[in-house]
A and B are shown apart, each in its own frame.
Chain A
Amino acid sequence: GAGVSQSPSNKVTEKGKDVELRCDPISGHTALYWYRQSLGQGLEFLIYFQGNSAPDKSGLPSDRFSAERTGGSVSTLTIQRTQQEDSAVYLCASSFTQGNEQYFGPGTRLTVT
């Protein structure tokens, strides 16, 4: 079956611009996660959605970052007024439910110039 998909695969933006990153989870998966990974670094948890519950936003690094998940499926991560330190690969993952193994999308490589 189809895996997790993300778009765009690459995004280059100027400092100060807003960007939107999209994630399509595996059909039927109720849990969706966003992570960030800088070059050579580990995964940094950003935000997590489980069904209709309020999202766990504890990993968002600043109020410039926000995410929503519409209809319990597709999710959008928005970064406002991008900074150079936001440059990283943004990974989305989904799982059948909370606590199960996660399946990752290919990521969006964001470069802020």
Chain B
Amino acid sequence: RKEVEQDPGPFNVPEGATVAFNCTYSNSASQSFFWYRQDCRKEPKLLMSVYSSGNEDGRFTAQLNRASQYISLLIRDSKLSDSATYLCVVISGNTGKLIFGQGTTLQVKP
């Protein structure tokens, strides 16, 4: 089993839709969590950190469920420019290394 798992998608949604991605992690000792965004043929860029209490940045909301060992990313009022691959990242509780999920692809259609 992979340490971090994501549904690869693709998720195809119309503009203005709300879409949510989940990511599960296997190591209960994991401490920190992030969402990255990667555009086609570009490097990954940090989208937001995920805090235990949940956090919001504009149209983006990230939540952590430690009991069930998953994190989520909610995007409201989707824009065409939100089309990208979203990577779930977990800091390994054992090594401190960042473990990247395979990514979830989002395609927002007009």
Contact B97 A56 (CB under 8 A): yes
B25 within 8 A of A: no
| Residue in chain B with minimal CB distance to A39 | B41
Contact A42 B102 (CB under 8 A): yes
| Residue in chain B with minimal CB distance to A50 | B96
Q: Contacts A91-B43, A104-B43 known; A99 to B101 CB distance under 8 Å?
A: no
Shortest Cβ gap from B25 to chain A (Å): 15
Size of chain B's interface in residues, with CB distance under 8 A? 19
CB 8 Å contact bits of A95-109 with B (1 = contact, 0 = none): 000110111111100
A48 within 8 A of B: yes
Size of chain A's interface in residues, with CB distance under 8 A? 17
Shortest Cβ gap from B13 to chain A (Å): 21
Contact B31 A105 (CB under 8 A): no
CB contacts (< 8 Å) of B95 on chain A: these are 56
CB contacts (< 8 Å) of A43 on chain B: these are 44, 87, 100
**A-B Cβ contacts below 8 A, count:** 37
Contact A98 B96 (CB under 8 A): yes
Complex formed: what's the CA distance from A20 to B100 in Å? 25
Contact B46 A101 (CB under 8 A): yes
Contact A102 B98 (CB under 8 A): yes
CB 8 Å contact bits of B73-110 with A (1 = contact, 0 = none): 00000000000000100010001111011110000000
Contact A104 B34 (CB under 8 A): no
Complex formed: what's the CA distance from A105 to B44 in Å? 9
Contact among A56, A98, A105 with B43 in the assembled complex (CB-CB below 8 Å): A105
B32 within 8 A of A: yes
Shortest Cβ gap from B4 to chain A (Å): 10
Q: Can you identify 12 A-B contacts, CB atoms within 8 angstroms?
A: A42-B87, A42-B100, A42-B101, A43-B44, A43-B87, A43-B100, A56-B95, A91-B43, A91-B44, A98-B97, A102-B46, A106-B43
Spell out B's residues near A (CB within 8 Å).
31-32, 34, 42-46, 49, 87, 91, 95-98, 100-103
